[in-house]
Amino acid sequence: MAKVYQANEIKNIALMGGSGSGKTTLMESMLLEAGVIKRRGTVEAQSTVCDYFPVEKEYGYSVFSTVCNIEFGGKKLNIIDCAGSDDFCGGTVTALHVVDTSVITLTANGGVEVGTQNNFRLAENAKKPIVFVVNKCDHENANFDRAVEALKDNFGNKVVLVQYPVNAGAGFNAVIDVLKGKMLVWKPEGGAPELKDIPADEQGKVEELMGQLHEMAAEADEALMEKFFEEGTLTEEETVRGLKTVFAEAGVYPVLCACGVKDMGARRLMEFLGDMAPSVADAPKPKTIDGNEVAPDATKPASMFIFKTSVEPHIGEVNYFKVMQGTIHGADDLQNMDRGSKERISQLYSVAGSIRVPVDEVAAGDIAATVKLKDTRTGNTLNAKDCDNTYPAIQYPEPKYRRAIRPQNEADAEKLSALLTRMHEEDPTWLVEQSKELKQTIVSGQGEFHLRTLKWRLENNDKMMINFDEPKIPYRETITKSARADYRHKKQSGGSGQFGEVHLIVEPYEEGVPVKEVYKFGNQEYRISVKDTQEIPLEWGGKLVLINSIVGGAIDARFIPAILKGIMDRIEQGPLTGSYARDVRVIIYDGKMHPVDSNEISFRLAGRNAFAEAFRNAAPKVLEPIYEVEVLVPGELMGDVMSDINGRRGMVLGMEAEKNFQRLKALVPLKEMSSYSTTLSSLTGGRATFTMHFKSYELVPADVQDKLIKEYAAQQAEEE
Q: Kindly report the three-state secondary structure assignment for every residue of 594-616.
A: CCCCCCHHHHHHHHHHHHHHHHH
Q: What is the CATH number of domain 7-196+252-276?
A: 3.40.50.300
Please list the residue range(s) of the chain that carry CATH number 3.30.70.870: 401-472
Within 8 A by CB and 6+ apart from 710, the residues are: none
pLDDT confidence bin for 658, thresholds 50/70/90: confident
| Helix residue ranges per DSSP H, 325-475 | 413-426, 448-460
Structure confidence at residue 216 as a pLDDT band (50, 70, 90):
confident
Instruction: Compute the average pLDDT of residues 89-116.
Output: 94
> Which of 13-22, 229-238, 262-271, 427-436 shows the lowest per-residue confidence on average (mean pLDDT)?
229-238
One CATH from 3.40.50.1100, 1.20.1250.20, 3.60.10.10, 3.30.70.240 for 622-703: 3.30.70.240
Residues of the chain with CATH 3.30.70.240: 622-703
Q: How far is CA 42 from CA 32, 47, 57, 413, 550, in A?
A: 12, 5, 11, 39, 79
Decide if 464 contacts 420 (C-beta within 8 A): no
Concatenated DSSP letters of 661-690: EEEEEEEEEGGGGTTHHHHHHHHHTT--EE
- What CATH number does the domain located at 477-618 have? 3.30.230.10
pLDDT score of 720: 65
Region of poorest pLDDT, from 80-94, 227-241, 461-475: 227-241
Do the beta carbons of residue 28 and residue 48 sit within 8 Å? yes
pLDDT category of residue 685 using cuts at 50, 70 and 90 = confident
How far is the C-alpha of 448 from the C-alpha of 478, rounded, in Å? 33
Least confident of 43-52, 246-255, 380-389, 392-401: 43-52
Q: In terms of Cα–Cα distance, which of 591, 579, 586 is closest to 536?
A: 586
Q: In the prediction, which pLDDT does 61 show? A: 66
| Sequence-distant (≥ 6) Cβ neighbours of residue 284 within 8 angstroms | 100, 127
Domain boundaries for CATH 3.40.50.300 within the chain: 7-196+252-276
Give dist(CA 158, CA 373) in Å, integer: 45
- pLDDT for residue 584: 97
**Residue 588 neighbours by CB distance under 10 Å:** 27
- Parallel, antiparallel or unpaired: strands 498-508 and 584-592: antiparallel
The percent of residues in the chain predicted with pLDDT above 70, rounded, is: 98
Q: String of b and e for 391-417 (b: at least 16 CB within 10 Å)?
A: beebebeebbbbbbbebeeeebeeebe
Q: What is the pTM of this model?
A: 0.86
Q: What does the longest C-alpha to C-alpha distance in the chain come to?
A: 113
Rg of the chain over Cα atoms, rounded to whole angstroms, equals 32
On the question of pLDDT at 64 being above 90, the answer is: no
DSSP single-letter state for residue 480: S
Instruction: Read off the pLDDT of each residue in 437-464 and give the average, rounded to a whole number.
Output: 93
pLDDT exceeds cutoff 80 at 36: yes
Q: What phi and psi values does residue 453 have, to the nearest 5 degrees?
A: -65, -40
Contact residues for 380 (Cβ-Cβ < 8 A; gap 6+): 305, 306, 336, 337, 338, 339
Nearest to residue 21, comparing CAs of 62, 77, 66, 78?
Answer: 62
Strands in 186-296 per DSSP E: 194-196, 253-257
* Ranges of CATH 2.40.30.10 domains, the chain: 303-383
User: Which residues in 94-110 are b (16+ Cβ under 10 Å) and which e?
Assistant: bbbbbbbbbbbbbbbbb
**Torsion angle, alpha carbons of 710, 712, 713, 719, to 10:** 150
The whole-number pLDDT of residue 494 equals 66
Average pLDDT over residues 125-136: 96
Angle between helices 203-218 and 222-231 (to 10 degrees): 150
The confidence score (pLDDT) of residue 1 equals 58
pLDDT digits (tens, 9 = 90+) for 358-375: 999 999 999 999 998 999
Report the Cα 272 to chain-centroid distance in Å. Answer: 30
Cα–Cα distances in Å, from 312 out to 317, 334, 423, 426, 550?
A: 6, 24, 12, 10, 65
Q: Please say if the pLDDT value at position 204 is more than 90.
A: yes
Average pLDDT for 173-195: 94
Q: What is the mean pLDDT of residues 307-325?
A: 90
Q: What is the pLDDT of residues 520-533, one digit of tens each?
A: 999 999 999 999 99
Whether the predicted pLDDT of 211 surpasses 80: yes
Q: Would you state the pLDDT for residue 221?
A: 80
Q: How many helices (H) and strands (E) does the chain have?
A: 16, 38
**Residue 234 predicted with pLDDT over 90:** no
The string of pLDDT tens digits covering residues 610-648 is 999 999 999 999 999 999 999 988 889 999 999 999 999
Question: Residue 574 to residues 237, 580, 705: CA-CA distances in angstroms?
Answer: 73, 6, 13
* CATH architecture of the region 303-383: Beta Barrel (2.40)
What's the CA gap between 151 and 165, in Å, rounded? 16
Lowest mean pLDDT among 207-211, 236-240, 262-266, 378-382: 236-240
Q: Which tens digits make up the pLDDT trace of 15-28?
A: 999 988 999 999 99
CA 399 to chain centre: 7
Q: What is the per-residue pLDDT for 223? A: 81
pLDDT at 90: 93
Q: What H or E segment, with its residue span, contains residue 238?
A: helix 236-248
665 pLDDT band (50/70/90 cuts)?
very high
Residue 117: the pLDDT is: 87
CATH of 401-472, one of 3.30.70.870, 3.40.50.300, 1.10.600.10, 3.40.50.170: 3.30.70.870
Sign of the C-alpha dihedral, residues 300, 301, 307, 309? positive
CATH 3.30.230.10 domain range(s) in the chain:
477-618
